[in-house]
């Protein structure tokens, strides 16, 4: 494993503008000044900040999403951002390349789509909400790092006890398979069964 770490370090130095964030680490605060970012890895949570500094879940950004665009308009962030899983962000737009696969119009379309998905995560039975979130966050191989029970609860508008019960239930049903490292039962890393392209019959 040492060589892998070395490679990562080198990559990091090549693009020195890339930023890393740990779980539950703040990325930026609403009202603050800064850049727009592209989420390269991980899951980012966006919150509105109400009086008394109360935070309310507002949106989710996963790999490929752009966050903080509104600074290009207002000069400051509208929401607060924090890392739900280990994250890697890069400034956006990437000035060097002209490929421009992400125009403002692309970002808008993706934002609308993401919003519709989040709306769906707050409706229906609890188990479907949790499964929906797991599917949204899983990679094509079905591997997924879930946020904490508390964060899942705030995303789906349920209680963390309910989330805990449902994840256990999905584990026992074999839908979620905890990934064990050194024999230790992981609580966040799973393999999600039946995960593939969303084109399969009932």
Partner DNA sequence: CGCATTTTTGATACACGTCAATCTCCGTGG
Partner DNA sequence: CCACGGAGATTGACGTGTATCAAAAATGCG
Q: State the residues that interact with DNA by CB under 7 A.
A: 24, 125-127, 148-150, 157-162, 164-165, 167-168, 184-188
User: Quick one: 36 or 127, whose CB is closer to DNA?
Assistant: 127
**Residue (48 or 148) nearer to DNA, CB:** 148
Contact of residue 89 among a copy of itself, DNA, none (CB under 5-8 Å per partner type): none
Exposed, middle or buried, 18 (CB in 10 Å: 0-12/13-18/19+)?
middle
Longest dimension (CA), the chain: 50
With CB cut-offs between 5 and 8 Å by kind, which of a copy of itself, DNA, none does residue 15 bind? none
Helix (H, G, I), strand (E, B) or coil at 165: helix
| Residues 39-58 within binding reach of a copy of itself (CB under 8 A) | 46, 48, 56-58
106 is a site residue for a copy of itself (CB under 8 A): yes
E-strand ranges in the chain read 19-21, 26-28, 36-41, 44-50, 54-61, 66-67, 80-83, 87-92, 143-145, 176-181, 184-192
Which residues form the interface with a copy of itself (CB under 8 A)? 46, 48, 56-59, 69-70, 72-74, 78-79, 103-109, 111-113, 115-116, 118-120, 122-124, 157
């Amino acid at each position: 494993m040492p060589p892998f770490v070395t490679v990562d370090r080198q990559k990091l130095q090549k693009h020195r503008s890339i930023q890393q964030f740990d779980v539950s680490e703040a990325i930026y605060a609403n009202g603050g000044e800064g850049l727009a970012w592209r989420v390269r890895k991980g899951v980012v949570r966006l919150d509105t900040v109400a009086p008394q500094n109360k935070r309310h879940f507002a949106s989710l950004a996963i790999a490929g999403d752009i966050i903080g665009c509104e600074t290009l308009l207002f000069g400051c962030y509208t929401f607060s951002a924090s890392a739900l899983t280990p994250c890697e962000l890069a400034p956006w737009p990437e000035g060097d390349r002209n490929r421009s696969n992400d125009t403002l119009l692309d970002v808008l379309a993706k934002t609308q789509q993401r919003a519709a998905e989040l709306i769906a995560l707050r409706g229906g039975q609890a188990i479907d909400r949790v499964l929906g979130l797991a599917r949204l966050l899983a990679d094509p191989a079905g591997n997924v790092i879930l946020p904490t029970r508390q964060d899942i609860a705030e995303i789906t508008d349920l209680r963390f006890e309910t989330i805990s019960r449902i994840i256990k239930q999905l584990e026992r049903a074999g839908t979620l398979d905890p990934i064990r490292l050194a024999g230790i039962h992981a609580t966040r890393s799973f393999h999600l069964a039946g995960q593939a392209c969303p084109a399969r019959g009932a």
